[in-house]
Each structure stands twice: as structure tokens, then as C-alpha cells.
Structure 1
Amino acid sequence: MCKKLSVPTITRLCMVFQQCDELLPQGVARISSSQMGKKIGVPAHTIRKDINCLGEVGDTGSGYDVARLKRHLERALGFEKSQKACVVGLGRLGSALMDYEKFQASGFSVVAGFDSSVNRIETIKTQVPVYPAYEMEDVIRREAIEMALLAVPAHVAQATADVLVSCGIRGIVNFAPVVIEVPASQVQVRHMNVINEMRVLSSLMTLGD
């Protein structure tokens, strides 16, 4: 069992978990590391190595028991506890994130939304409570929110991230098209830059020709 998991390992294990979540309703009871690897684009030996980092999962001679593997990953990766999240920036993207139905089913609960525009707050249609940006600290601390989805314009992303960190947020999914800096020892950040992903995809397409 590994003492500390790297970010790439955690990322792959989350992909394995997602596959287990999709396979069970299809009636798939067992899956080999080779089959799993093909599904997520990772070599079979890497799949086995990653899963072994979490300890024994049971007999793997004829593949992994999908239900058992899912439970094992759920415990090891901390998915048993529901995570409270908030959305900061309620433009088109932020508004869509507010009511994304699969959050709840995946163990994430969006409990608040924030925006600097009072007009936007008054007109947005959502079942999630929304607040002006200046109330972030009070609401985040009161609701014990640890995760934030940041969907603000690039020019205010860093300042908004700084406020979130000061409020006690421990994880940020950054949708702003700019890299934000946070204290690495306190806060984890995932950057979701669509343009950069398209650049990567374009390069892969070009270099693969």
C-alpha cells in the first residue's frame, strides 16, 4: 500500500471509480485490468499498480469484482462523506452548474451560490440559495462549505480565490480562463480551461497524423 498517492494516480483511480459506477447498472460483475485500461486509455499494469496502492481488493485472478472495487475506492478516496460546495459567479456557466442534477447523485451538494451583481441574484431561477458576494465568508463558514466552483471573469479570478481561501475553502474547481495561485499546503485547485484542453487536443490530432 502506498503511503501517499500522486495526483496522476488519484486522477486515474477516479476514472476507474467512474467506470465502476457506470458498469454496475449494466450488470457487469467483473472486469479485468486490461478491459478497464482500454476503457480509460491506461495500460493494464498501471491500473493494477494504482489499485494495489490502496491495499488488497480481493481475488483478482479472473478480474476485479466491480461492486467490491467500487466500495474499496469509495472508502480509500473519501467518497463516503458528502461534500458541500458553492458556486461563485452566476453567469451562464455558473447558473448551469448550480442545478446540475448529477452533483447530488455523486456525493456533492451545492448549497450556495454567490455573485457580485444584485440584479443577477434577483433574477436567477434556482432552488439553491443565492447570496451577494460580500456574504461569502459568513455563509461559507456557517454552512461549513469546503469546496468552491469558481466561474468568474479572468480579471477577478485571483482576488475571488484569495477570498475563498481566507474563508476556509479547501478545494477549488477553477473554470476561469486564467491560472490562480493558492497556498499549496492548504488548498487544492483543479483548472478547467476549455481553450487549453482544445489546444492539447489539437496538438494530439496534429502530432498523431
Structure 2
Amino acid sequence: MIYQLLNEMFDKGHMTVSSSELGTTLGVGSHNIRKDISCLDGVKSGGSGYDIVNLKNAIAQKFGFENQKAACVVGLGRIGTAFLEHAHNITSEFRIVAGFDSNTNRIETIKTSVSVYPAYQISETARRLNIQIAILTVPNTAAQDAANRLIDGGVKGIINFTDTNLVIRKDDVFVKNMDVTGEMRMLSALIRMDMNNSITM
């Protein structure tokens, strides 16, 4: 994503970037980059390319990144707890405000600065805290019920770390399935391609 790439470049001290640089890094044509950027208000390319700060701000305004969104973690096993432990490292665009789990013993013993609640309070708490995004790390058997509670609470986006294909009956709710195995296969293929290219060169 262009926005994430711009953040990384800015953190490394870059102040400008060209469409060809963005295209090469993202694996798309520079003309496609210019076409996408042309949809943004107030962004023009100078002699040395686009001003990174200006481009970042325009993208943030276009997609609402400038308004911090509340997020939560549902399922406080190892993965869920790891998200809570690193909640302070989440980008400023999002803030983890709650964690949920069906195991009351886990809720009572977990050490975190984030407020944690029993799973049956998901809908009520999500609505009260205006949570818009949820990270779902529950067992597969509990995934659909947890998703239903989140949606009832007004959550609009779910990052699904389970193997369950969630049934979503609302058009304004979006799910991103995190397929770790698929990502590993993709990386393996890229490594293999790179090795083959190195051999032929």
C-alpha cells in the first residue's frame, strides 16, 4: 500500500519520491501510480517528485486515516495477548481500547494496560467505546459467534486470524482473512524465484 510505503520512506529520511520509485517498489506501472495520485486533492509532482508529507496527508484525508479509530482484540490466547502487549506500538491511526475472552480466569490474571472484558460483553462494550475494528483470534468454533457479537456492537471491520469463513450478512462490514499458510507459500515462491534468477545470472 502506498501509504505504508510513504511512512517507511519518511522514517528513513526521504522527503520526496517519484512515481517510478513507488511503482518499482510496489510492482506496478508508474502510470498507474500517477493515475491513482491524480484522484487526490492538492497533490502535484515537482521537479524531484512528490512531496512525501503532502502525499501522506492527502491520502490520510481521502481515506479517513487522520481520525484515530478504536480497535479491540477478541480471544486472549497467545496471539491475542501479544497484540495487547504491543498495543502501544500500533500506529497512531488506531488504538486498541479493549480485549475480550470467554475465560474469566484469563481475564482476571492477564497483565495489560488495556481494559479486558468477558466475551458476553462484546456488543455492549463495542457500542459504548465506538469500536470500529476488531482483531479476531478465538478458536475456530467460537469465531462466528464472536463476529456476530462484534457486528451487533457496530464494528465495521474484522481482521480474522481464524480458519473459519465468517458469514457476514451486512454489506457495510468488511473482513480481512489472515492466511498465514498462504503468505508463507507466497514468500517461499518469491525466495525460489530469486534463487533461480541468481543462478541464471
Shorter-chain TM-score above 0.5:
yes
Query: Conserved in 1, the CA contact under 8 Å of 2:125 and 2:153?
Result: no
Query: Which residue in 2 is equivalent to 1:172?
Result: 158
Q: Unaligned regions of 5+ residues in structure 2, if any?
A: 197-201
Q: Unaligned regions of 5+ residues in structure 1, if any?
A: 1-14
Residue type of the alignment partner of 2:89 = K
- Provide the C-alpha distance between the structure 2 equivalents of 1:123 and 1:17, rounded to a whole number of angstroms: 38
Query: Which residue in 1 is equivalent to 2:199?
Result: none
Instruction: Identify which range, 167-176 or 88-97, moves more after superposition.
Output: 167-176
Query: Which residue in 2 is equivalent to 1:144?
Result: 130
- Provide the C-alpha distance between the structure 2 equivalents of 1:184 and 1:56, rounded to a whole number of angstroms: 35
- Provide the C-alpha distance between the structure 2 equivalents of 1:44 and 1:102, rounded to a whole number of angstroms: 32
Residue type of the alignment partner of 2:14 = V
- 1:81 corresponds, among 67, 73, 77, to 67
Query: Which residue in 1 is equivalent to 2:89?
Result: 102
- CA distances 1:176-196 after superposition (whole Å, capped 9, x unpaired): 123212135120111112012
- Provide the C-alpha distance between the structure 2 equivalents of 1:38 and 1:59, rounded to a whole number of angstroms: 17
Provide runs of 4+ in structure 1 moved above 6 Å: none
Residue type of the alignment partner of 1:132 = P
Shift of 1:55: 4.3
Q: TM-score, normalised by structure 1?
A: 0.84
Distance 1:152 1:206, change over 3 A: same
Aligned residues: 194
Please tell me the root mean square deviation across aligned C-alpha atoms, in Å. Answer: 2.0
Q: Which has the larger radius of gyration?
A: 2
Give the alignment of 1:94-133 within 5 angstroms. 94-100=80-86, 101-103=88-90, 105-133=91-119
Distance 1:178 1:202, change over 3 A: farther
Q: TM-score, normalised by structure 2?
A: 0.87
Question: Which secondary structure does the structure 2 equivalent of 1:95 belong to?
Answer: helix
